[in-house]
Amino acid sequence: MTAEKFALESADLFATDTEAARQKRRASVDAPLLAAVRGEKPSRRPMWMMRQAGRSLPEYREVRANVPMLDACFDDERVAEITMQPVRRHDADAAILFSDIVVPLKAAGVDLDIVPGRGPVVAQPVQTMEAIAQLPTVEREQLANIEKGIGHVLEELRDDQVLIGFAGAPFTVASYLVEGGPSKNHEVTKSLMYSQPETWHALMRALTPTIVRFLQAQIEAGVDAVQLFDSWAGYLTSRDYREFVAPYSHAIFEAIRPYEIPMIHFGVGTGELLGDMAVAGPDVVGVDWRVPMDSAAARIRAALDHHRPDAKPEDKIKALQGNLDPAVLFAGDDVIAAHVKRIAAEADRAIDRGQAKGHIFNLGHGVLPTTDPDAITRAFEEVHKS
């Protein structure tokens, strides 16, 4: 099966319970993040931070003390507590579920671990057709504790705060499987992709159902939005992204679309791919700190005009998410305020020009571990004033 054919047919592979999911969601339709995605004027500029549920907070370090990362990810009470900690502290407009992109693989039975100071490490790298054939697909019952954790979070969130679920995109998940762990250059991954394209596409087809089911489990448990992280897609050219990656990300978005919740797509170093990532089908495109927000919006609109010429005008405009440099949070209150003002102005210009629907403020990547939590709080306060 070609990648294109897979993208066209795969949406029919995944049964959805959209009504059950709708009944679980409890965020107000007027919640700032949801309003921004629709292109309406929110009551305040919505903000959350990637990795906000994590390493910078002393209360996080306390609850994670002597608890391995993956053990915490499958502990429903810890999932809820860690998810909510930054929301309580910073008055965030969204909680991001505490989890990891390798969680569905671990749940399915893949032999891997998250090694402190290194990241996900796979016992047996997946580099052959035989290894791909042995990859399990996650089942819903294997995600039961994560669904329970989502239920706990929903009990605590205000109705103007949303819960965001997430998953890793197939390319980024595949890179860990192929390399056996984190990689600086992804040379093994890209070598396989270039030299054995049939094997590569087989791996993409094998991973896509697990990623979809992981997202479905979160959505049917009540999350209000989802983000697909393609953290390492920035290592690819636009040509390679379109051939080897986009069809599978597109298939995931199409499988999730019936739930009618916001879908966010984000990668690091993806300035040259922003248009292609938008064409893959999300409602919101995350922008890292390297590209001004108004420039990003122009690239996205141009790509959608080119690749979706027959689409409705409103479908050629995406909401934007981003894009404060995480290092700015170390530079003091005045610098934080100045950068927040600049980014808000860039996003507002894009909206005024009809090149973006709305703006969700975020970092251009994740919170750095040594960030002062008080600086994070001040950033939220500045954004909410903008």
| Options 17, 76, 91, 100, the catalytic residue | 100
| Options 22, 26, 51, 242, the catalytic residue | 51
pLDDT 10s digits, 314-325: 888 999 999 999
| 45 labelled catalytic | no
Q: Find out if CATH 3.30.479.30 is the number for domain 3-385.
A: no
| Options 64, 78, 301, 378, the catalytic residue | 64
Question: Contact, 231 vs 274, CB < 8 A?
Answer: no
Question: Contact, 385 vs 344, CB < 8 A?
Answer: no
The reported pLDDT for the residue numbered 3 is: 57
pLDDT 10s digits, 81-127: 999 999 999 999 999 999 999 999 999 999 999 998 888 999 999 99
The reported pLDDT for the residue numbered 5 is: 62
123, 97, 211, 312 alpha-carbon torsion, rounded to 10°: -150
Strand partners of residue 266: 229
| Options 22, 26, 44, 55, the catalytic residue | 55
Query: CA-CA distance, 371 to 378, in Å (whole number)?
Result: 12
Query: CA-CA distance, 355 to 10, in Å (whole number)?
Result: 30
The reported pLDDT for the residue numbered 11 is: 54
Residue 165 CB neighbour total at 10 angstroms: 24
The reported pLDDT for the residue numbered 153 is: 97
| 51 labelled catalytic | yes
Q: Which of 285, 220, 222, 294 is nearest to 249 (CA)?
A: 285
Provide the residue-wise pLDDT of the chain in tens; the chain has 386 residues. Answer: 555 566 555 655 566 778 878 888 888 999 999 999 999 999 999 999 998 777 889 999 999 999 999 999 999 999 999 999 999 999 999 999 999 999 999 999 999 999 988 889 999 999 999 999 999 999 999 999 999 999 999 999 999 999 999 999 999 999 999 999 989 999 999 999 999 999 999 999 999 999 999 999 999 999 999 999 999 999 999 999 999 999 999 999 999 999 999 999 999 999 999 999 999 999 999 999 999 999 999 999 999 999 998 888 888 899 999 999 999 999 999 999 999 999 999 999 999 999 999 999 999 999 999 999 999 999 999 999 98
| 61 labelled catalytic | no
Question: Contact, 273 vs 236, CB < 8 A?
Answer: yes
| Options 176, 241, 248, 259, the catalytic residue | 176
In the chain, where the domains are located: 3-385
Q: Which letter does DSSP use for residue 328 in this model?
A: G
Q: β-strand 119-122 against 112-115: which pairing, if any? A: antiparallel
The reported pLDDT for the residue numbered 16 is: 74
| 55 labelled catalytic | yes
The reported pLDDT for the residue numbered 76 is: 97
- Encoding tokens for residue 132? 């791909």
